[in-house]
Amino acid sequence: MLPIGHYLFLSLALFLLGVIGVITRRNVIVVLMSIELILNAVNINLVAFSRLYGDVAGQVFALFIIADAAAEAAVGLGIIIAFFRNRETVLADEMDLLKW
């Protein structure tokens, strides 16, 4: 079995990649996907610690996070579709109106 540090570093790398994606990409869909990546990094941590302490609480929280990710994806993609229908674009820097 691997020491927990490896998992932490993997999680960190995924997290940072996600952050870079969120900040730099213009395509909102990719931004959303980057957020999924961040959530996933958190999941790795949770499950790894859950294994470390032999307690399923971490896994339960990972479950909650997955459910949360599903909710977020559904709403986010709904917004994107509505936006695309009105503005014909999915680029973040063209989303400059609060209401249309």
Q: Between residue 41 and residue 80, which ones bind other proteins under the rule CB under 8 A?
A: 43-44, 47-48, 50-54, 56-57, 59-60, 62-64, 66-75, 77-80
Place of tokens 């961040």: 38
Give CA separation, 48 vs 32, 62, 91, in Å.
25, 10, 36
CB of 96 to other proteins, least distance (A): 13
Nearer to other proteins, 40 or 97 (CB): 40
According to DSSP, the residues that pair with 91 across neighbouring strands are 27
Determine contact, residues 66/78, Cβ cutoff 8 Å: no
CB of 48 to other proteins, least distance (A): 6
Nearer to other proteins, 5 or 99 (CB): 5
